[in-house]
Amino acid sequence: LLNEVDGLGRPTLENICRFAADHLKATLPGLAEIKVSRPSNGESCVYVVSR
């Protein structure tokens, strides 16, 4: 479960985006942004990866 992922903190959409970007940008150097959405309630978050 997301609450049990080390280093994630509180599993908000914003934190999930940041966490994913931090873990993927080393292996995907062209990564520009991450989008996580929760369609059941219409929420989404876009995290722009800093270079």
- pLDDT for res 46: 97
What's the pLDDT band for 30 if we cut at 50, 70, 90?
very high
- pLDDT for res 50: 83
Cα 44 to Cα 12, 17, 30, 38: the distances in Å are: 10, 10, 22, 6
Number of domains in the chain: 1
Query: Across all residues in the chain, what is the average pLDDT?
Result: 94
Cα 11 to Cα 6, 44, 46: the distances in Å are: 11, 13, 15
Residue range(s) defining the domain that contains residue 29: 2-48
- pLDDT for res 42: 96
Asked whether the predicted pLDDT for residue 51 surpasses 90, the reply is: no
Mean pLDDT of 1-14: 95
Mean pLDDT of 17-25: 94
